[in-house]
């Protein structure tokens, strides 16, 4: 059967189960109740500190076939997931499901655990590097990886689609009763947005820290009320790869040009006014948009309401300089932003559920006026791909893009028209990560395209000197320079299921035929 985005979705998928087709961004209304958690009790004099990760695994009674979770705030410096999996492997435990907020190149040791049968199932927001290639080319897992958005993961945990037996939570700071934060210590990484939800719903919670403090610490992101055990280790991660340095605005002239055009679009549409709210991804043109908006806001004495999402040093400076009143942070991107989260009361930590779970009574993503996204591909229906590359290989992530695109009043995609002579604007994206009906405007270095669903925006932009053209026209212009890319050949083996944020199936990733 065909879903709302025109993708054929089988009724049931091996290794995934029954499917529900994506029906539109807000078409699937949940019923019933969220899951409840197992009861517990505590006693005076209770000790939670254990001698090792191995002991923790034994004490929580982890068995074959159980599901464990991790978070990826330690990014490329993460050593906790590998440490835990090595211990699980040593104990001879097999058939483990991993629910991780995302995977990066730091997690390549996972390949060995998959080959040895320790890990047999993965749900994540993204898959990069060799692991992505192996799943795409070999179906190394033997079943599809389930890709969920940040909001979708929180929803799935709360609705019971994901059942976590044990959550292993890396903490930059933790006291001996399990109160945790991510902002103090040698491995500080900032907000703990993702594991806040894990801690609330997992049957058992193990805090792993390299900065154990006596009870009580006073900055608490995850409280001891949710934590079973605490383990001290030498290192939770490589601090050089966690949150080093400052995020800098790009010097790439094409990115700057795109960013300047995006800022002009937002200004022309009247979005940049007192009280507006905003989110932009890190790096590339997204951050550069902030630079151009900043100068406009300063010149016109505009103060925004809040900026959200992955927080960078650049947004921190805007908060400090009074250009935004509040930062809402679920994932902190650099060292300056980590410091700000610790020191500035208006820099507020939020859970992934508060950030973007659509099945809450409200979420931050739905309060956004403007969202800036980037993409690896965008097609003539404005569908966005951020998960597979031009070769069909899994190499990216969904992140919070589908959540914020659906929630914000205006969603602008900033992207170059080509990368290394490969066109970004295509007839049909390889995979849909964010549905086109939630994307409003594409800004490139060769012109601006408005989704025909938003003709009122196009009308406004036509009154400016910005170069507005149809996305079909833009694609043809680009293909004149790049040629039409060859179609990727696939087998009929499904190696990835892309869930929309509401749990319906948006698209499928097939094994690349080489």
Which residue lies nearer to other proteins by CB, 379 or 445?
Answer: 445
Which residue lies nearer to other proteins by CB, 38 or 421?
Answer: 421
Q: In angstroms, how far is CA 55 from the centroid of its own chain? A: 31
CB of 420 to other proteins, least distance (A): 8
Residue 358 · residue 26 · CB < 8 Å = yes
Written as six digits, the tokens of 104 are 């990066």
Gyration radius of the chain over CA positions:
22
Q: What is the C-alpha to C-alpha distance for residues 261 and 43, in angstroms, rounded to an integer? A: 61
Q: What is the C-alpha to C-alpha distance for residues 298 and 416, in angstroms, rounded to an integer? A: 28
Nearest Cα neighbor of 141 from 122, 163, 161, 128 is 122
Q: What is the C-alpha to C-alpha distance for residues 270 and 163, in angstroms, rounded to an integer? A: 44
CB of 253 to other proteins, least distance (A): 4
Residue 76 exposed, middle or buried by CB count within 10 Å (0-12, 13-18, 19+): middle
Q: Mention every residue, 6+ apart, whose C-beta is less than 8 A from residue 91.
A: 54, 57, 58, 62
Residue 69 · residue 206 · CB < 8 Å = no
CB of 264 to other proteins, least distance (A): 13
Which residue lies nearer to other proteins by CB, 40 or 481?
Answer: 481
CB of 247 to other proteins, least distance (A): 19
Which residue lies nearer to other proteins by CB, 198 or 255?
Answer: 255
Written as six digits, the tokens of 267 are 């200004």
CB of 446 to other proteins, least distance (A): 6
CB of 379 to other proteins, least distance (A): 21
Which residue lies nearer to other proteins by CB, 421 or 487?
Answer: 421
Q: What is the C-alpha to C-alpha distance for residues 375 and 471, in angstroms, rounded to an integer? A: 15
Which residue lies nearer to other proteins by CB, 60 or 418?
Answer: 418
Sites of contact with other proteins (CB under 8 A): 251, 253-254, 256-257, 418, 421, 445-446, 480-481
Which residue lies nearer to other proteins by CB, 396 or 416?
Answer: 416
Residue 478 · residue 363 · CB < 8 Å = no
CB of 424 to other proteins, least distance (A): 13
């Amino acid at each position: 059967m065909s879903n709302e985005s025109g993708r054929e979705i089988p009724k049931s998928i091996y290794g995934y189960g029954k499917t529900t087709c994506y029906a539109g961004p807000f078409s699937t209304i949940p019923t019933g109740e969220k899951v409840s958690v197992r009861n517990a009790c505590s006693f005076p004099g209770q000790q939670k500190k254990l001698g090792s990760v191995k002991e923790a695994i034994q004490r929580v009674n982890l068995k074959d076939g159980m599901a464990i979770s991790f978070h990826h705030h330690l990014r490329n410096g993460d050593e906790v997931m590998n440490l835990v999996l090595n211990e699980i492997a040593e104990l001879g435990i097999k058939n483990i499901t991993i629910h991780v907020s995302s995977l990066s190149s730091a997690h390549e040791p996972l390949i060995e655990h998959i080959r040895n049968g320790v890990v047999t199932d993965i749900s994540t927001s993204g898959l990069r590097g060799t692991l992505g290639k192996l799943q795409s080319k070999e179906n190394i897992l033997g079943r599809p990886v389930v890709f969920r958005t940040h909001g979708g993961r929180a929803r799935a945990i709360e609705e019971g689609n994901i059942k976590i037996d044990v959550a292993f939570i890396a903490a930059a700071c933790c006291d001996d009763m399990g109160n945790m934060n991510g902002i103090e210590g040698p491995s500080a990484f900032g907000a703990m947005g993702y594991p806040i939800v894990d801690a609330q719903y997992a049957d058992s919670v193990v805090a792993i820290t390299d900065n154990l403090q006596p009870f009580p610490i006073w900055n608490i992101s995850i409280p001891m009320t949710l934590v079973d055990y605490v383990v001290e280790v030498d290192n939770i991660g490589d601090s050089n790869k966690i949150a080093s340095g400052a995020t800098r605005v790009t010097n790439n002239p094409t990115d700057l040009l795109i960013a300047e055009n995006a800022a002009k679009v937002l200004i022309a549409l009247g979005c940049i006014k007192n009280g507006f709210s905003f989110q932009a991804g890190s790096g590339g043109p997204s951050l550069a948009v902030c630079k151009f908006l900043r100068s406009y806001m300063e010149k016109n004495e505009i103060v925004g309401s809040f900026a959200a999402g992955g927080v960078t040093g650049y947004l921190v400076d805007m908060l400090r300089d009074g250009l935004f009143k509040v930062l809402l942070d679920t994932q902190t991107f650099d060292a300056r932003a980590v410091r700000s989260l610790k020191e500035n009361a208006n820099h507020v930590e939020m859970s992934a559920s508060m950030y973007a779970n659509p099945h809450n009574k409200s979420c931050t993503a739905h309060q956004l006026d403007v969202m800036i996204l980037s993409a690896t591909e965008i097609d003539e229906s404005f569908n966005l791909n951020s998960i597979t590359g031009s070769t069909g290989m899994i190499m990216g992530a969904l992140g919070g893009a589908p959540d914020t695109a659906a929630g914000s009043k205006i969603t602008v995609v900033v992207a170059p028209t080509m990368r290394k002579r490969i066109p970004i604007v295509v007839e049909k994206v390889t995979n849909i990560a964010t549905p086109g009906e939630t994307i409003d405007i594409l800004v490139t270095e060769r012109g601006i395209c408005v989704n025909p669903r938003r003709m009122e925006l196009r009308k406004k932009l036509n009154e400016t000197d910005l170069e507005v053209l149809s996305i079909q026209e833009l694609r043809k212009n680009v293909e004149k320079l790049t040629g039409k890319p060859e179609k990727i050949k696939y087998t009929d083996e499904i190696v990835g299921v892309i869930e929309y944020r509401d749990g319906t199936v948006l698209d499928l990733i097939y094994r690349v035929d080489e």
